[in-house]
Amino acid sequence: MDHPDLADTSAVDPFAHLHDEAYSDSFDQPRLTRAGLVEPAGRTVQSLDGPWFFTLDLFDEGLRQKWYADAPLPPEQWPRPRDYDASAGATLQTPSCWNLAQPQWLYFEGAAWYTRTIEHTLDPARPTTLLRIGAANYQARVFLNGQFLGTHLGGSTPFCVDLSGALVAGGNRLQIQVDNRRERGRVPMNHFDWFNYGGLYREVGLLRLPSVYIAQASLQLVPDGSFSRLSAQVRLSSRVNASVSLTVPELGLQTSVPVIDGQGAVVIDAQPQLWSPEDPRLYPVEFRLGTDTWTDRIGFREIRASGQQLMLNGRSIYLRGICVHEDDVLLGKVSTEDDVRRRLGHAKELGCNFLRLSHYPHHEHVARLADELGLLLWEEIPVYWAIDFARRATLEDASNQLLELIARDGNRASVILWGVGNENEDSDDRLAFMRHLAALAKQADPSRLVGAACLINREKFCIEDRLTDHIDVIGINEYFGWYEPDFSGLDRLLHSSSPDKPVIISETGADAQAGHHGTVSELFTEDCQAEIYRQQIARIEQAPYVCGMTPWLLYDFRSERRQTVFNQGFNRKGLMAQDKQTRKMAFAVLAEFYHRKQAQR
Ligand code: GCB
């Protein structure tokens, strides 16, 4: 590689960085957003997973001293001393969470640097090279050959960087600075009930594309109750006029989508077999523009709210759900396909037809496997508790996370609901913020429902949250029996509310340490947790407008806020322990209810 040591000019004061507290200002733009996100959609991805040179950077020296500008030279050729050599030393395997790589890194919150070489061969047929990062928690800054290319905010959604302009033939030095600091202005903010893992914890790869390619495509059932029309939409990478071919062989469908100024849409008559949890039929779909082929397997179904009912394909449905976090004792937020299969398998064993993927976008495998296995999903962004609703940049960040999630999973039949928030106090700023998100989700995706975990009025014990006027499905988190020991509050809540839309009990539950037994009134015992489930189910079942529930939650998960002898750094509200094997008594209680409900259909 032949890159100048940009930092090493004798004119530069080697001590200037010691006095420069504006050192990060020039690395917050350009922002990498949904506008640049491209899904692989069956195209070849060159994986960059594996070992990367890695260091933690507690004092932000990488930006202060411009480590990215140091030429990769052997130490004997360094023009002056360095504090880090990005092309040598320790490596870290990706995807991974750095917290679990070394015991002393468990609680690290700050910046870290990943460096690796990518070999590039110029290909005139595929001049565009996009770097796609599955997720990096929370801010990522991308550098290629010493050049800063952009930064992404948001810890759970994918993003792309166009490397084409900075790539050279041969070896190229790719560097990603990832920063997992908790901050008040972020989404989520600094206070949340899960573990703050850091790193490149999802797959990273390269997509090589022609100069004009399909940036986004979707095929969906038109939600008009006729089940006989499909809506196709295409967006190209540039504002050209073109014709994109669309084929769905198993529907005998072959047509073209006229594209004007980079955008195209058509509605086509078709009679697909509908996707449902009982019959999760998927159709291979292909969009083609010249040599660029975009493929997917898509299910067609309709979800609607009708009064207090949820209608899937025109029939009322009860959502037998469970909440899940993305957490693993050994891997943290890394979700392997095996782990996701196990998670969905346990949900099926419970009798579920629905999962709430709380509280942030989970790995894209989840919705893909849910499509195949016939599970419905609530997906959400981490607009959690007291984020800074008054801050414009926070709204922009949340909006972008929402749009990236919709762009990634918009073709997944399993996803029926976009969640825009969880337990946020009803203030004017919050209402404006969340109304904006709800409207944005509707505009980006009119075919799905929008929901949120809302609040109840604790004096009157009824559902009372101004946000409910702006969403399709009301989620209610309530912990009667646990945080509020008296169940009479739940009776009052269920009787005195009269919502005009479907309600899901989006959380309820209790902590139990696996293997700890006692009386039903002894906190943290399995017996107490199981009894709370019994009491909850008996009441929720009677409320006619409750059209489903997602108790909190499938597995115990790391949460440093929880430090009793029973918790020891874990939230223990799992129906299973964090080993993902040990079932607590409440597992059978919920399974019994769900299997009974299923048989009633
Ligand atoms: C909630 C939150 C969830 C917590 C849970 C708990 O209401 O939405 O993130 O983990 O309660 O265990 O208290």
357/138 Cα distance (integer angstroms): 19
Are 355 and 375 a contacting pair, CB within 8 Å?
yes
Burial class for 269, CB neighbours closer than 10 Å (0-12, 13-18, 19+): exposed
DSSP states along 150-189: EEEE-SSS-EEEE-GGG--SEEEEEEEEEE----TTSSS-
Task: Please give the pLDDT value at position 455.
Answer: 84
Pocket test for ligand 1, best of 380, 477, 570 (most atoms within 8 A of CB): 477
pLDDT at 601 over 80: no
Residue 351 has pLDDT above 90, yes or no: yes
Element (H, E) at 269: strand 263-269
Beta strand 229-236 pairing with 263-269: antiparallel
Ligand 1 centroid vs 83 CA: distance in angstroms? 42
Contact 234, 257 (CB under 8 A): yes
Which residue, judged by its Cα, is nearest atom 10 of ligand 1?
193
How would residue 7 be classed by pLDDT, with cut points 50, 70 and 90? very low
DSSP 348-392: HHHT-SEEEE-SS---HHHHHHHHHHT-EEEEE---BSS--TT-H
Residue among 552, 563, 566 to mutate when testing ligand 1 (max atoms within 8 A of CB) = 552
The better pLDDT of the pair 11, 345 is held by 345
Q: Residue of the nearest CA to atom 7 in ligand 1?
A: 477
Strand pairing class (415-422; 376-380)? parallel
Question: How do residues 41-84 score in pLDDT, each as one tens digit?
Answer: 999 999 999 999 999 999 999 999 999 999 999 999 999 999 99
Distance (Å) of CA 226 to CA 119, 257, 415, 501: 52, 22, 20, 23
pLDDT digits (tens, 9 = 90+) for 128-152: 999 999 999 999 999 999 999 999 9
Per-residue pLDDT tens over the stretch 269-300: 999 999 999 999 999 999 999 999 999 999 99
441 CA from centroid of ligand 1 (Å)? 24
294, 285 Cβ separation under 8 angstroms: no
| pLDDT at 458 (0 to 100) | 85
| Cβ proximity of 296 and 411 under 8 Å | yes
Taking residues 233-247, what's their average pLDDT? 98
Q: Which residues are CB-neighbours of 146 under 8 A, at least 6 positions away?
A: 3, 4, 6, 68, 69, 71, 173
CA of residue 78 to ligand 1 center, whole Å: 52
Mutate to test the pocket of ligand 1, among 324, 524, 571 (most ligand atoms within 8 A of CB): 571
Atom of ligand 1 nearest to the CA of 358: 9
- Predicted confidence (pLDDT) at residue 248 exceeds the cutoff of 80: yes
- b/e map of 189-207 (b: 16 or more CB within 10 Å)? beebbbbbbbbbbbbbbbb
From residue 320, how far is each of 1, 375, 521, 551, 596 by CA, in Å? Answer: 57, 10, 27, 9, 11
User: Mean pLDDT, to the nearest integer, of 1-22?
Assistant: 68
Q: How far is the CA of 501 from the centre of ligand 1 (A)?
A: 24
Distance 554 CA to ligand 1 centre (A): 13
pLDDT (tens digit, 9 = 90+) per residue, 447-476?
999 999 998 998 889 999 999 999 999 999
**Pocket lining for ligand 1, CB < 6 angstroms:** 193, 359, 422-423, 477, 507, 552, 571, 573
Whether the per-residue pLDDT at 481 is higher than 90: the answer is yes
Q: What is the pLDDT of residue 237?
A: 98
Tell me the CA–centroid distance for residue 193 and ligand 1, in Å. Answer: 7
* Peptide bond connecting 95 to the previous residue in cis, omega within 30 degrees of 0: yes
Number of Cβ atoms within 10 Å of the Cβ of 393:
12
User: Band of the pLDDT at 14, cuts 50, 70, 90?
Assistant: confident
Instruction: Output the CA 160–ligand 1 centroid distance in Å.
Output: 32
Residue 580 pLDDT more than 80? yes
- Quick: pLDDT tens for 391-449: 999 999 999 999 999 999 999 999 999 999 999 999 999 999 999 999 999 999 999 99
Q: What pLDDT, on a 0 to 100 scale, did the predictor assign at position 11?
A: 58
Q: What is the pTM of this model?
A: 0.97
Question: How many helices (DSSP H) and strands (DSSP E) are in the chain?
Answer: 8, 34
Is residue 541 within 8 A of residue 534, CB to CB? The reply is: no
Confidence class for position 119, pLDDT limits 50, 70, 90? very high
Averaged pLDDT of the chain: 96
The encoded tokens of residue 459 equal 């004096």
